[in-house]
Amino acid sequence: MGIKYIHIEIHGWKLTIRLPFSYGTEHRRFPVAYLQDEGSVMKHTANYLDHLFRSQQLNELILVGVASKDRNHDYTPWPLPEVTPGAPSFGGGGDDYLRALAEEIKPYIDSHYLTLQEARFTGIIGYSLGGLISLYASYRYPEVFGRIGLLSASFWYEGILDYMRDHPVDRAGQRIYMYYGELEGCYKTNAQKEMAGRSRAAHQLLLEQGFSGGDLLLECDPQGTHDLMFFSRQFPPALRWLFGGGEAGPVRGNAG
């Protein structure tokens, strides 16, 4: 039987839900990871994830892909002009998006599915701007999201490092996984050329604020570019580190 997804719409937000293969068999409850960009990293790794879950190399969990209505608006914490002439500007609607996620979408999932509802069982994961808003969620809703997955998060976004410096994240129960590719932004001439360096700077900020190897991991691919292929490849290792399980590979050495 192929992998099945449940497609629903909640308050105008389209969700793609993937339930564990053992869901409902023993009335077990499961952790939940909320994924940006419709859960595209989940779909690109569908068969491999199925193998990892069934072979118990990854602990089973519920995956919820959330479709953005406008990612340049929903995934940004404050407005900014475009970084490339002719490209869309950034709307800064992140607070509204996270409010919907924390106060509408998550309560619906918790009331309709067998979930473990505490923050330490609830993840938010995204790549690029989706990683940026996942990071922002750890500041705005630390009591809701305790497992944060940042796959090539947009630390180039103007003001985000200053925000992190001025608002130390609540470390209680938080666990953060970070990944970046060393070649990200290498051909850019705008702010995005700082992708790799600013990922390292963000990691250093978190270390200075008290995070350690037990609750913060930074990994790097020396050949990684800013592409869905690399984001998807790091998705299983991110799940493994955030939620537990055996060797999931491929995993790079600690870049911290």
For residue 222, pLDDT over 60 is answered with yes
Least confident segment among 54-68, 167-181, 239-253: 239-253
Distance CA 227, CA 48 (A): 19
* pLDDT of 34 over the 60 cut: yes
Position 249 pLDDT exceeds 90: no
Q: Looking at the domain 6-243, which fold is it?
A: Rossmann fold (3.40.50)
Tens of pLDDT, residue by residue over 129-164, are: 999 999 999 999 999 999 999 999 999 999 999 999
Radius of gyration of the chain (CA): 17
pLDDT at residue 81 greater than cutoff 50: yes
Please say if the pLDDT value at position 213 is more than 70.
Answer: yes
Name beta bridge partners: 6: 17
Asked if residue 33 lies in contact with residue 147, where contact means CB atoms within 8 angstroms, the answer is yes
Q: How many CB atoms lie within 10 A of CB 254?
A: 10
Residue ranges of the domains in the chain?
6-243
DSSP strands (E only) in the chain: 6-10, 13-18, 32-35, 62-66, 122-127, 147-151, 175-181, 216-221
Sheet holding 147-151, edge to edge: 6-10, 13-18, 62-66, 32-35, 122-127, 147-151, 175-181, 216-221
**pTM for this prediction:** 0.93
Residue 248 binned pLDDT confidence (cut-offs 50, 70, 90): very low
CB contact at 8 A, 72 and 90: yes
List, in sequence order, every residue forming a beta bridge with 180; answer none if it has no partner.
Answer: 220
Q: Token pair of 110, please? A: 């918790």
Contact 34, 106 (CB under 8 A): yes
Write out the H or E segment, with its range, that includes residue 138. Answer: helix 129-140
pLDDT at 251 (0 to 100): 35
Residue 79 CB partners (closer than 8 Å, separation 6+): 89, 90, 91, 92
Buried/exposed 153-182: b ≥16 CB within 10 Å, e otherwise: bbbbbeebbeebeeeebebeebbbbbbbbb
Q: What is the pLDDT of residue 2?
A: 60
